Amino acid sequence: MSFVANTPLQREEMLKACGVSSVDDLFADIPASLRPQSFRLPPGRSEHEVLEYFKQLAERNYAQLTVFLGGGFYDHFIPSAVDALASRGEFFTAYTPYQPELSQGTLQAIYEYQTHIGRLTGMAAANASMYDGGTAIYEACQMALHATRRTRIVVDGGVNPVYRKMLYSYTANLAIDFTEVPVTHGASDRKHIEQVLGDDVAGVILQNPNFFGVIDNHEDIVARCHEQGSLVIQSVYPVAMAMLKPPGEIGVDIAVGEGQSLGNPLAFGGPYLGFMATNKKLVRKMPGRIVGRTLDREGREAFVLTLQAREQHIRREKATSNICTNQALCALRAHMYLSLVGKEGLREVALLCHAKAEYAKERFKAIPGVSVMETSSTFNEFTVHLPADAGVIAGRLVERGIAPGLPLGRYYPGMEHYLLVAVTEKRTKAEIGHFAEVLEEVLSHYWDFEEEHSERIDV
């Protein structure tokens, strides 16, 4: 099945038109010495056979767990209309809108997406999206470094550790210094941040709510940074923004975040989208695709890609980024999701997440030996301290059909007894109660498996 339309007879006619006798003649430029030494692949199969094969693979993934895993990636409900609309071929079989006359659908949708992200974050302008939340932070750093012509970045320890690892990988070959400031009691350490600020600091990266789910108002940090000429990059959870103080209200320069929660399935890590928004002053330094509204020859409203002169296909080695595309279809889904849940709906999602997480906290507090870290308010994710290795206990809960949260020892050495628990609007009171009961039961036997603590987590 190669989806080739032409019949052997048609191919003969075409070869004749090209003045060659066989298709091999068209590959004459590839010398015999360069022909494949091997090309051992299974023969093609029918649609039915392939579908069955993948169904088997899919069944070997147990997706029916009750999920309390978050860590920046959340199990939110996706309205059916998102899938129905995003699977229209006119959207997903189109490409980058180079020809605006044939791409007004994609272009207008991106413009509307940019507007939605701007309103959610309180910022003046958003781009058409980056690959994910981590690459968005990296691109924001590059923006800050270029805009300030400085060389150091300060990273709050509450920023998703996965993103911090990505940031350090990308910049390993560049002359950029990083200073990491550990969080204390779950929140940003003001004193420490102030100490490390200086006239070489291009930007400070913060996250709200931070990786521990802790809510903060970074307004004071933003003020200190601006006094020193540093920019502030804040990574935010878009669902929480329906309730919490958005970056725009506290003077943040570049807002970024992972947009998966807005209508995109978890899908084992991707595709997701990173959103990015900034203020008027920095908009021309923002990397990636941006759509603008203009007029056409007849004076009709029209949408086009704009500010492309900064991009790789024109500016080559001097481009602001090497990104060629955006996550158009994921951004489209995010925009559809926001349109469907709407202004009140997203607030309700946020309130539900928060209320259910608070209920879960109460349930866990009642379990002997378990304590909930409660030095500051949290949104829908919180840290619990367990009387044993969180990895081991999580394993026991997984066996009972619950993905209980993320053991923190892997990313924060010394926090081996801590579990990061997330609750979304999809979790019911009964599921939360069941989780608490199973946890209590597992913990009541924990002496039995304490000897396992030294075992390496081997997936």
Partner 1 sequence: MSQDDRKYAKSHEWAKPDGDVVVVGISDHAQQELGDITFVELPTVGQVMEAGAECGVVESVKAASDLFAPIGGEVVAVNDALEDTPELINQDAWEAGWILKLKPSDLGQMDALMSVADYDATL
Partner 2 sequence: MSVVFNKSVPGRRGVRLPTCDVPFVDAIPEEYLREQPAELCELSELDVVRHFTGLSRLNFGVDTGFYPLGSCTMKYNPRVSERIAGLEGFSQLHPFLPQLRSGGMLTQGALQLLYELERVLCEITGMGAFTLQPLAGAHGELTGMMLIAAYHRDKGNKKHTVLIPDEAHGTNPSSAAITGYRTVSIPTDGTTGRLNLKALEDLVDDETAAIMLTNPNTLGIFNSEIEQVVEIAHRHDAQVYYDGANLNAILGKFRPGDAGIDVMHINVHKTFATPHGGGGPGAGPVGVREHLVPFLPISRIEKRRDNSFVLDYDQPRSIGYVAPFYGNFSILVRAYAYIMLLGGDGLVEVSENAVLNANYVMHALKERFELPYDRSCMHECVFSASRQAEHGVHALDIAKALIDRGYHPPTVYFPLIIKEAMMIEPTETESKETLDAFIAAMLEIADEAERNPDAFAELPKRAPVCRPDEVKAARDMDVSFEAC
| Closer residue to partner 2 (CB): 196 or 348 | 348
Closest to partner 1 by CB, 179 vs 308, is 308
223 binds, among partner 1, partner 2, none (CB under 5 to 8 A by kind): none
CB of 300 to partner 1, least distance (A): 19
Token digits for 257? 């975040």
Q: By the criterion CB under 8 A, which residues form the site for partner 1? A: 284, 307-310, 314-315, 318
Nearer of residues 125 and 181 to partner 1, judged by Cβ: 125
Residue 181 or 338: which CB sits closer to partner 2?
338
C-beta of residue 96 within 8 angstroms of C-beta of residue 110: no
Name the residue nearer to partner 1 (CB basis): 142 or 234.
142
Indicate whether 71 belongs to the interface with partner 2 (CB under 8 A). yes
Of 191 and 317, the one with the shorter C-beta distance to partner 2 is: 317
Say if residue 16 is exposed, middle or buried (CB neighbours under 10 Å; 0-12, 13-18, 19+): exposed
Q: Of 339, 271, 278, nearest to 307 (Cα)? A: 278
Q: Does the protein bind partner 2 through residue 415 (CB under 8 A)?
A: no
Cβ pair 261, 74 in contact under 8 A = yes
392-to-195, 360, 449, 452 alpha-carbon distances in Å: 39, 21, 8, 8
Find the shortest distance in angstroms from Cβ 173 to partner 1. Answer: 22
CA distance 200 to 228: 9
CA 400 to centroid of chain Cα atoms: 29
Q: How far is the CB of 385 from partner 2 (least distance, A)?
A: 18
Query: Could you tell which of partner 1, partner 2, none binds residue 178, using a CB distance below 5 to 8 A set by kind?
Result: none
Q: Which does 310 bind (CB under 5 to 8 A by kind): partner 2, partner 1, none?
A: partner 1
Region of 226-234, 282-290, 364-372, 436-444 interacting with partner 2 (CB under 8 A): 282-290
> Which residues in 288-347 contact partner 2 (CB under 8 A)?
289-298, 300, 302-304, 306-307, 309, 311-319, 321-330, 332, 336, 338-347
Element (H, E) at 181: strand 177-181
Near partner 2 in 173-232, by CB under 8 A: 173-175, 215-217
Q: How far apart are CA 380 and CA 206, in angstroms?
A: 18
Please, what's the b/e burial string for 356-392 (b: 16 or more CB within 10 A of its CB; e: otherwise)? bbebbbebbeebeebebbeeebbbbbbbbebebbbbb
